[in-house]
Structure 1
């Protein structure tokens, strides 16, 4: 058979085909290495003695829907120069794999278009074989992200499973690449990342995170020269939680059934952006609820004015706006608002750091949503390392293999 066909079809260039047969609905090529291509696997010498042979079968790229196997007569060589006794090297496979490199590349290409199950069914391979090919490819290309170019990073956690099982991710905010995944959501989940960061000699200018004490202490301890920026989304979320608690307490304490009916079902109206309520019926219902309870009204308008902190012309104006807001929250004399005002005052420096570096954890929230979608598509992952590798490759859209 023409050797160029073996090369272009299966990536075989040093072997020759002596026979082709059809067996059990499969096409089998009987190949063996040409004599002039045989070399000692250790020193590449041509001075050797053939010391027996064995038959090995490798899975190749299918022809149509017919599975293809390369049945090779593998020589055992005894070198006269280095005296090693080993089987000849087989260039078209990796290690002791039972499939060719060309088939592995085909699996990688098809994995961009379908699930592991689809690819395995189409190529007549096992699910574990396709998954193993994907995992080795992802490990080789994305297993060790480069940290030397990092300047702006974001830190956040996401839930892996029920029962408070979390993982912490670190994202390059300029590229959207996940550069690290740690177990848990405490400060110790980032220990390995700090060690790798130190070895990479990267200079981190700013870090975006939520108000988690664990993340704050970890950043300030390991990279104190970096500016810590608290994400404004999480600050607003804390205010929304306080407003929702006030709404619940108002509903519980109200004895008038008619007033309780007005408060019931107003959670969405209170928490959404007031400028987005265009429906007159909804706006009237919100106004009625606010008129019936003064603490709820104060909390709602403070929630609306909180966003003004991030819309000022410069940092000096933002400081004045933040101080005025905290003072108004104290004057309202509502315990939940007082607690939130204390939290905001304690983290004032990190909130205002947004004016030094306009970064947030918005990219991380988007990545967390993609991770949730990926878990649902795969119905969960048994191999956590494979799961992490898919997350590390998520920024490359073409290589985000479906589970």
Structure 2
């Protein structure tokens, strides 16, 4: 065996280190003995002067990535040097290279691989076991990558907001009753996420809670340029979010996501069906009841129903509900869907006006309490709905980000530390654009 193999050094790929020999133990483990092959390794970290005064030798075993599918034991016999510069505060130092800095027991590329595996959605314990390192080692790699990669968000034109659960609801003590019993209150641990709707930044950040004060605090922490650049904020029909936007971003328009409007209409149809069934039969619906059997068809769009399915649903409701309230609620839902569909055709004001009048007229003539409530909700949120119809902006990207957030939480089996949670979530949600920017510097991160 030769003393030093350039081919082996190239295969190992640790810049600044050269393979001296490879030893195969009786247990089948490969020990790769390396030596320093970088003249700058003898340079003092403080004064940057190369030392020529050796002090002693140190044997270190930095953990590295597998090579050829096998884990190797890397042994680096490095020199400790004396610094002879008079005004240098450092008396001695050990050799270091870019892949193995001083004091590190893992290589730089191993720590990068650990962080990449975690930000791809894998559990940290699983990553630690796969790479034969400890959980704290993986955690430090993730923290370092988050500090280097997760920067303050750039200004956005359209901001999306939505909430996700951080954990399960809990009951906490809140004082005592007059008779001495403990008063319990339910707390829901929510997290509000902020997403770049039209840009490529994905998740911009998260804040604890879904109150107006929490949203205002997050917006206040951003730069004036960030707040001034927001033209439209897309939200669910949530009064707290709307109040926060009006207070913190007075010049921004509010758009309501149409998915939640259709969801409110579907809830109204379900409420009417359940009430009519109870009034007629004095019980809940059963599968022998036509209205209950067609409950899924009532929530499906008209264009998605075949002629046979439409006839079955229509005739079943006519036979089951002599008052016609269920079909009236279904028609009102379809009128609202037709109103929302005008956004896909450019949101012409005349068409919007006609569809809105048709929805209001039908809801008023039906004289059904659930439809009256639905129409009042549409009237309350109409300025924000009109912005959606004119711009076509939705919270679809925010909902997609929520799916990624839930994916990270499932992989980790939940979180207890919110700081670690937000770091992991944002690393996962922004990984695609960050890697694309690293490969192509012309793409903004």
Q: TM-score, normalised by structure 1?
A: 0.83
Is 1:151 aligned with 2:157? yes
Is 1:27 aligned with 2:31? yes
CA contact (8 A) 1:75 1:87 kept: yes
Is 1:349 aligned with 2:383? yes
Distance in 1 between the 2:106 and 2:285 partners? 72
- More deviation in 107-116 or 239-248? 107-116
- Written as runs of structure 1 = structure 2, the 5 A alignment for 1:163-242 is 163=169, 164-175=188-199, 177-190=202-215, 191-198=217-224, 200=226, 203-242=229-268
Match of 1:274 in 2: 302
Distance in 1 between the 2:434 and 2:229 partners? 29
Distance in 2 between the 1:240 and 1:389 partners? 37
Deviation at 1:288, TM superposition (A): 2.2
Match of 2:174 in 1: none
Unaligned runs of 5+ residues in structure 2 are: 170-187, 436-445
Match of 2:374 in 1: 340
SS at match of 2:281: coil
Distance in 2 between the 1:321 and 1:35 partners? 77
Match of 1:44 in 2: 48
CA contact (8 A) 2:317 2:324 kept: no
Match of 2:72 in 1: 67
Distance in 2 between the 1:266 and 1:27 partners? 70
Match of 1:297 in 2: 327
What is the alpha-carbon root mean square deviation over aligned residues?
3.5
Distance in 2 between the 1:109 and 1:372 partners? 19
Match of 1:288 in 2: 316
SS at match of 2:72: strand
Deviation at 1:28, TM superposition (A): 4.1
Q: Structure 1 residues 171, 89: closer, same or farther in 2, change over 3 A?
A: farther
Deviation at 1:230, TM superposition (A): 0.8
Q: TM-score, normalised by structure 2?
A: 0.76
Distance in 2 between the 1:60 and 1:266 partners? 61
Deviation at 1:122, TM superposition (A): 5.0
Is 1:136 aligned with 2:144? yes
Deviation at 1:303, TM superposition (A): 0.7
CA contact (8 A) 2:61 2:73 kept: no
Deviation at 1:189, TM superposition (A): 3.1
CA contact (8 A) 2:257 2:395 kept: yes
Match of 2:440 in 1: none
Q: Structure 1 residues 398, 387: closer, same or farther in 2, change over 3 A?
A: farther
Match of 2:111 in 1: 104
SS at match of 1:84: coil
Q: Structure 1 residues 317, 37: closer, same or farther in 2, change over 3 A?
A: closer
Q: Structure 1 residues 79, 256: closer, same or farther in 2, change over 3 A?
A: same
Deviation at 1:326, TM superposition (A): 2.5
Deviation at 1:35, TM superposition (A): 7.2
Q: Structure 1 residues 324, 277: closer, same or farther in 2, change over 3 A?
A: closer
